[in-house]
Amino acid sequence: MSWFSSTLRGVPLARLRGGNNEGVLVLSIAILSVAIGLATPSFWSLGTLLNVSTNSLTNLVFAMGVLIVIISGGINVSFAAIGIFAGYSVIVLANSTGFGASAAWVGFAIAAGIGLGLGMLNAAAIAGLRLPTLIVTLGTQGIIRGALLSVIGSKVIPNYPPGLDNLSTNYLITAQGAASQGAGATRLSVLIIPAILICVLVSLLLRYTMVGRGIYAIGGDAESARRTGFPVVSIQVFIYALAGILAGIAGMMHVTQVRLANPYELVGGELDVIAAVVLGGASIFGGKGSVAGTVLGVVLIALIKSSLILLGVPGSWQRAAVGLLLLIGVTAQALSAGVQRRRIDLLAESAP
């Protein structure tokens, strides 16, 4: 992964910090863990680890999709809508036609396909027409969510096809001596495997393929990328198509884990994912970001949420906490970027 190979003139401390501040994140997580552990000793249990992992699965896969978009210099807020659309549709489909009822992976494949289709909407507007990404994805979010609720259905579905039902209770690890949380807290869902697999694949994509390097190039300097001969339009289509596929899979994961298909979910939780990606070192301006950093970002946010619960802080504090964390992280990034900026750049203002 990138944090081992990046070199900043061989300065050892800088190497520890990592190309995307991964080192800082690891440190923060470590400090946080120690602090919480001191306050609540029950934190240091396998239960907590599994709890955190299970809770962050869906966000992890979403984050991968968001990551590639952000590295390319854009921003995507439609992923949650795509996710729930895909997940819910599969349940409806499975329940009504029996298709994919027995084999869970078929459901996932369908979800991925739906995500691909929806992602192409984004691709057409952004790569084809060169419209600003925030606004386009806000628009597609509206369209997709509206379509889901009006066309597919707006009811919560508690009945699951057997294949998926089994999957949702398929656990990899079951810890003994359950912690004080309720059932399900000390078990690690088998879905962690595809999640990790996806992370690895995305990492390989970014690092070892021309498309991946092209994503970085576009985010770094789109004009230069064009001049150098990168097929910018094709790469952008790829980005948004892949983001759609990943969102579809993540949505499916969520729906499986929760064991309830609620079409009102996921939308509204976009910020947690975006915050995780930004905290993980990806620059909103594009050109920077890594899978490792994003994973750490997701873990950090999940950790904070778990800690708050453990500390007895009401769940209503979670949102404020994430918001504050995002602001702190972004401020730190902005300040360190400001220090590095050279004198001549006085005229280029970062705030329009």
Partner 1 sequence: MGSPEPLLIASGISKRFGGVAALADVTLEVRGGEVHCVVGENGSGKSTLIKVISGVIFPDAGTITVGEQSFTHLTPRQAISLGIEVIFQDLSVFPNLTVAENIAMATYIAEGRRTVAPKALRSIAAKALSEIGVRLDLEARAEDLSVADKQLTAICRALAQDARIIFMDEPTTALTWREVEALFRVVESLREKGVALVFVSHKIEEVLRISQRITVLRNGVVTVIGDVADFDRAAIVQAMTGRSIADSQPSPSLREDMPPLLEAQGLCLRGYFEDISFSVRPGEILGVTGLLGSGRTEIAEALFGITPPDQGSVRVEGKPVRLRSVRDAMAAGIGYVPGDRLTQGVFLDQSIARNIIAGSIQRLVGRLNLLRRSAADETVRRAATELRIKMPSAEAPASSLSGGNQQRVVLAKWLARNPHLLILNSPTVGVDVGSKHEILDMLRAKSHEGMGIMVISDDVPELVAVCHRVLVVRQGRITDELVGDRLSEEVILRELAA
Partner 2 sequence: MNDMPARVLRRMLAERSLVRLAVLTLAVLIVFSLVSSTYFTVINFQSMGFQVAEVGLLSLAVMLAMLTGGIDLSIISVANIAGIVTAQLFKSTGAATAEPGQAFAMTVGFILIGLFAGTVCGVLNGLLITRLRITPILATLGTLQLLNGIAIIWTGGQAVYGTPNVFLNIGIASIGLVPVPVLVLLTAAVGTAVFVNRTGMGLRLRLIGANPTAARYSGLNNDRVLMVTYVASAFLSSLAGIIIAARSASANADYGVSYLLLAIVIVVLGGVNPMGGYGTVTGVVLSAFVLQMVSSGFNMVGYSSFAYQIAQGAILIGVMSLSALARRYHVEGRSTLLNRWRRTEPSTAQPPEGKRDEEAHQPS
Residues of this chain that interact with partner 1 (CB under 8 A) are 5-9, 19, 207-213, 216-217, 219-221, 224-230, 287-288, 343, 346-347
Cα 127 to Cα 77, 79, 120, 124, 324, distances in angstroms: 16, 17, 10, 6, 34
Q: Considering the rule CB under 8 A, would residue 276 count as an interface residue with partner 2?
A: no
Q: Which of 288, 276, 261, 292 is nearest to 329 (CA)?
A: 276
d(CA 264, CA 146): 11
Nearer to partner 1 by Cβ, of 235 and 261: the residue is: 235
Q: Are 227 and 237 in contact (CB under 8 A)?
A: no
- Work out whether 92 is an interface residue with partner 2 (CB under 8 A): no
Contact 30, 304 (CB under 8 A): no
* 311 binds partner 2, rule: CB under 8 A: no
6 binds, among partner 2, partner 1, none (CB under 5 to 8 A by kind): partner 1
Asked if 133 is part of the footprint of partner 2 (rule: CB under 8 A), the reply reads yes
Q: How far is the CB of 213 from partner 1 (least distance, A)?
A: 6
The residue among 309, 268, 59 whose CA lies nearest residue 180 is: 309
In whole angstroms, how close is the CB of 251 to partner 1 at the nearest point?
29
Q: Is 125 in the site for partner 2 (CB under 8 A)?
A: yes
DSSP one-letter string for 66-92: HHHHHHTT-----HHHHHHHHHHHHHH
Instruction: Identify the DSSP state of 260.
Output: S
- State the minimum distance, in angstroms, from the CB of residue 7 to partner 1: 5
Q: Which is nearer to partner 1, 170 or 224 (CB)?
A: 224
What does the alpha-carbon distance between residue 203 and residue 125 come to, in Å, rounded to a whole number? Answer: 26
Token look-up 């386009």 returns 136
User: Residue count at the site for partner 2 (CB under 8 A)?
Assistant: 62
What residues between 278 and 297 interact with partner 2 by CB under 8 A?
A: 278, 284-286
Residue 264 interacts with partner 2 (CB under 8 A): yes or no: no
What separation in angstroms does the CA of 5 have from each of 19, 67, 211, 218, 297?
A: 9, 20, 20, 22, 20
Among 197, 268, 311, 345, which residue sits at the site for partner 2 (rule: CB under 8 A)? 268
The distance of closest approach from Cβ of residue 243 to partner 1 in the complex, given in angstroms and rounded to an integer, is 20
Q: Which residues bind partner 2 (CB under 8 A)?
A: 72-75, 125, 129-136, 138-150, 154, 219, 222-223, 226, 268, 271, 274-275, 278, 284-286, 314, 316-324, 326-327, 330-331, 334-335, 338, 347-352
